[in-house]
């Protein structure tokens, strides 16, 4: 250390603490911050506050893009518009026919459910949000949308487009919220194979725009081209939404699990608009199952 000191310039000028002292001080703070953020999740409110402060700067940064979009919208050629209009009309006709069938079937379904005494399938209202920009971190697959907690968005809501699930809201800031895409490594969705009803959990693979189905045995009944839909048992995603399609199955002899790779159905990187579904209200759980088992009953169940 003494030899190091000799290389320092003489203290003619007031320079404050040496860079090394400063580095140690700030490094200690940032390591503490990282630990607190990763393990204890205390900083969510702090971050939301700062995000609200950063919002004006973000608006400024987005202004050129927004202006460009507006002018482009304005000068879109009329022929394109009429063509698009015709296509939309056709689709509307087709869909309205299907919708009518859907209505009658829904009524029928409700009637049957009533007959069965089953819980009513919950109706989830949705909000249309627009993607503002993709996440700034190249390691994660996230997008930022323009609705936030001021508009009633909460962390945990499901996000979808017209083809299927695209992800889940993971953080709601005051004026925007962060949607983690299904291809992100940290997102898991409970799914069901549409063909045979097999339940599993799908994880984002984190790269190549793919979804993995891990922990399924080698002899599992899954074929290439199978459709994965949400199973709806988590209370977040309504059941029956398309999630992905099985693209490739690798069965290696050295692993007890099959390696199943799926491609997401939704246009994850294509659209500007997403639908944010409100959280499903969990159906009422019957009282006797919700009550914690009393010691006596547990005792009784253990010894039949």
Partner 1 sequence: MRPVGLKDIYFSLIVAFTLYLLPWAGFGLMLRPDFVLLVLLYWLLRAPQLCNVGTAWTLGILVDLASGGLFGQYALAYAFTAFVALTYQRRLVLFNEWQQAGYILLLLLQTQLTLLILKLFAGSDLPGWSYFLPSASGVLLWQLVVYSRVRVTGIKDS
By CB under 8 A, tell whether 33 contacts partner 1: yes
Minimum distance, C-beta of residue 261 to partner 1, in the bound complex (Å): 15
- Using DSSP's 3-state secondary structure scheme, residue 1 falls into coil
CA distance 188 to 213: 10
Asked whether 157 and 168 are in contact (CB, 8 A), the reply is yes
| Other CB atoms within 10 Å distance of the CB of residue 191 | 26
- State the CB neighbour count (10 A cutoff) for residue 235: 14
Q: Near partner 1 by CB under 8 A, which window of 57-65, 80-88, 224-232, 250-258?
A: 57-65
Q: How many CB atoms lie within 10 A of CB 271?
A: 15
Contact 275, 168 (CB under 8 A): no
CB of 145 to partner 1, least distance (A): 12
Of residues 81, 135, 202, 218, which one binds partner 1 by CB under 8 A? 135
> Of the candidates 72, 123, 136, 303, which one interacts with partner 1 according to CB under 8 A?
136
Regarding 206 and contact with partner 1 (CB under 8 A), the answer is yes
Residue 176 Cβ, how far from partner 1 at the closest point, in Å? 10
> Under 8 Å CB-to-CB from 174, ≥6 apart: which residues?
48, 51, 52, 55, 148, 149, 150
Q: Is 80 helix (H, G, I), strand (E, B) or coil?
A: helix
Q: Where are the alpha helices (DSSP H) in 241-303?
A: 287-290, 295-302
User: In the bound complex, what is the minimum distance in angstroms from residue 258's beta carbon to partner 1?
Assistant: 21
Helix (H) or strand (E) holding 250: strand 242-250
Site membership for partner 1, residue 34 (CB under 8 A)? yes
Query: How far apart are alpha carbons 9 and 89 in whole angstroms?
Result: 78
User: Applying CB under 8 A, does 5 fall inside the site for partner 1?
Assistant: no
In this complex, which beta carbon is closest to partner 1, that of residue 31 or of residue 112? Answer: 31
60 binds partner 1 (CB under 8 A): yes
142 to 201, contacts with partner 1 by CB under 8 A?
Answer: 142, 171, 178, 185
Q: What is the closest distance, in whole angstroms, from the C-beta atom of residue 217 to partner 1 in the complex? A: 25
Report the C-alpha gap between 250 and 87 in whole angstroms: 40
How many residues form the binding site for partner 1 (CB under 8 A)? 45
When binding is defined by CB under 8 A, the residue of 89, 111, 113, 207 that contacts partner 1 is 207
Q: Does 22 bind partner 1 (CB under 8 A)?
A: yes
Work out the number of other CB atoms within 10 angstroms of the CB of residue 206. 15
Under rule CB under 8 A, residue 248 binds partner 1: no
Does the protein bind partner 1 through residue 20 (CB under 8 A)? Answer: yes
Of 62 and 259, nearer to partner 1 (C-beta) is 62
Asked if 250 and 258 touch (Cβ cutoff 8 Å), the reply is yes
At 118 the three-state DSSP class reads coil
Stretch that binds partner 1, among 30-38, 87-95, 247-255, 273-281 (CB under 8 A): 30-38
Applying CB under 8 A, the residues found at the interface with partner 1 are: 13, 15-16, 19-20, 22-23, 26-27, 29-34, 36-38, 43, 47, 50-51, 54, 57-58, 60-62, 64-65, 132-140, 142, 171, 178, 185, 206-207
């Amino acid at each position: 250390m003494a030899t190091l000191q000799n290389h320092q310039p003489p203290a003619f000028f007031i320079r404050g603490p040496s860079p090394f002292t400063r580095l140690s001080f700030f490094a200690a703070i940032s390591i503490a911050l990282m630990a607190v953020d990763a393990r204890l999740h205390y900083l969510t409110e702090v971050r939301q506050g700062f995000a609200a402060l950063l919002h004006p700067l973000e608006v400024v940064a987005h202004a050129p893009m927004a202006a460009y979009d507006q002018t482009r919208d304005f000068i879109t050629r009329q022929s394109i518009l009429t063509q698009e209009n015709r296509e939309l009309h056709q689709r509307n006709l087709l869909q309205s026919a299907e919708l009518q069938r859907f209505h009658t079937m829904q009524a029928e379904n409700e009637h049957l459910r009533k007959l069965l005494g089953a819980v009513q399938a919950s109706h989830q209202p949705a909000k249309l949000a627009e993607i503002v920009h993709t996440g700034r971190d190249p390691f994660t697959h996230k997008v930022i949308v323009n609705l936030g907690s001021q508009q009633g968005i909460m962390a945990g809501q499901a996000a979808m487009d017209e083809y299927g699930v695209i992800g889940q809201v993971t953080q709601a800031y005051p004026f925007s919220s962060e949607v983690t895409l299904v291809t992100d490594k940290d997102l898991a969705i409970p799914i069901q194979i549409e063909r045979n009803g097999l339940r599993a959990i799908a994880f984002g693979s984190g790269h190549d725009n793919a979804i993995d189905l891990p922990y399924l045995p080698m002899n599992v009944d899954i074929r290439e081209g199978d459709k994965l839909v949400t199973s709806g048992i988590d209370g977040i995603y309504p059941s029956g939404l398309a999630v992905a399609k099985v693209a490739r199955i690798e069965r290696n002899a050295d692993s007890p699990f099959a390696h199943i790779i799926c491609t997401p159905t939704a246009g994850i990187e294509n659209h500007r608009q997403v639908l944010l579904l409100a959280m499903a209200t969990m159906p009422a759980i019957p009282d006797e199952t919700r009550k914690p088992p009393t010691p006596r009953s547990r005792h009784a169940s253990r010894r039949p």
